[in-house]
Amino acid sequence: MLSSVPGRRTAIVATLGPVSETRSCIGGLVQAGVDVVRLSMSNGSRAQHQSAVRNVREIAAEVGRPVLLLADLQARKNRLGALPGGQAEWKSGESVVLCAAPTDATSHRTWITYPWAPDRLPPGALVLIDDGAVVLTVTDASASDLHCVVVQGGHVTSGRGISMPGATNVPPGLVDRDADDLRFARALGVDLIALSFACSAADYHEVHTLAPDQVIIGKVEHPDALASLSAMATTFDGLMVARGDLAVEIPFEDVPMAQKRIVSECTSRGKLSVVATQLLHSMRQSALPTRAEVSDIANAVLDGADALMVTGETGYGLHPIRVVDVLHKVIVRAEQHQDEVGAPGGVTSISSQDREGNGTSDG
């Protein structure tokens, strides 16, 4: 199983970022109960990733339990380009220009990874940043520039995810950057690979060809993935319910049912299932979770998820270690309830054969 913490079956996956990449914070996260450390290949330098891996390995040896490493490939995920100083504050009513190619960036002008179809972005169309935490509306769209007005302001950072439902032209398959990041991640000795915006069993085979000895998890973030879910659950070593992008690609009210279906498809096949995004979103600022967040975590455990993953909460929130402590407490209590009522868990093991890329993952 992914979890190595005594008395807890469901694993905790925590993302490293600006507030948590120091050795002391990584040590605190591991002590609080982190089982898997996520490295986002879309953010951070290679030197930072190398340092993080070294610290995780050393700290795991010191505490005497394994801590796995997960490299998350950008793949089809659309992202903002660079911002001066890596961040900016976009206030409601301000103008923002997004470019189709890298350009000299300012606080309110940058580029995005993939181009758009101008005829599918009429005035008033929405552009969602960071899973909708910041919202823009389009005022004018050409093939080279997208002029927008901020309608819901907030803090943005370089590399933050961006979505324009139905308007972005994203090519299939791995791009050169993904292949290069995959080689780098393998050289670091990571234990798992996550593929953003996986949409078919073919995506697994493309990654598996380059990394035949890796555990590969497909991130379900698009309607195309839901349409081929059975084949993906059969082929991938595991699937992640990536609720942030999924909730802007399909109606948000459909996401809870999609989550249950994805976890069930994995459990029935003995594959890993991971539930991610906004598990403790309020704790990016608050020291305490909301009641709804606690229920969400518990229900994910009761549904049978093998792991729960936090991103911004530990990447750039104010209370990264406390976030993990809260996750641990809620998961343990939910598992106690499972045991009391005899509810089946979804704990799935990664066998040595799985790590060696045996035929079970090929469907």
What residue segments make up the domains of the chain, in order of their start?
11-76+172-362, 84-163
Rounded to an integer, what is the distance from CA 176 to the centroid of its chain? 20
φ/ψ of 108, rounded to 5, equals -125, 20
* CATH top class, domain 11-76+172-362: alpha beta
Reported pTM = 0.82
What is the C-alpha separation between 196 and 113, in angstroms, rounded?
A: 14
- What pLDDT shows up at residue 363? 38
Per-residue model confidence as pLDDT tens digits over 201-226: 999 999 999 999 999 999 999 888 99
Per-residue model confidence as pLDDT tens digits over 142-164: 999 999 999 999 999 888 889 88
Identity of the amino acid at 257? M
Residue 110, classed as helix, strand or coil, is: strand
Q: Are 11 and 331 in contact (CB under 8 A)?
A: no
Beta-sheet strand order (sheet of 126-129): 109-111, 95-99, 145-152, 134-141, 126-129, 162-163
Give me the sign of the Cα torsion angle 215, 221, 223, 224.
Answer: negative
Residue 180 pLDDT more than 70?
Answer: yes
Kindly state the greatest CA–CA separation across the chain.
60
* Percent with pLDDT over 90 in the chain: 75
- What pLDDT shows up at residue 63? 95
What is the C-alpha separation between 191 and 189, in angstroms, rounded?
A: 7
Per-residue model confidence as pLDDT tens digits over 321-360: 999 999 999 999 999 999 999 855 544 544 434 444 443 3
- Residues 6+ positions from 98 with CB-CB distance below 8 Å: 80, 109, 110, 111, 112, 127, 145, 146, 148, 162
Q: Are 206 and 181 in contact (CB under 8 A)?
A: no
* CATH top class, domain 84-163: mainly beta
Q: Give the CB-side neighbour count of residue 333, counting CA atoms within 13 A.
A: 10
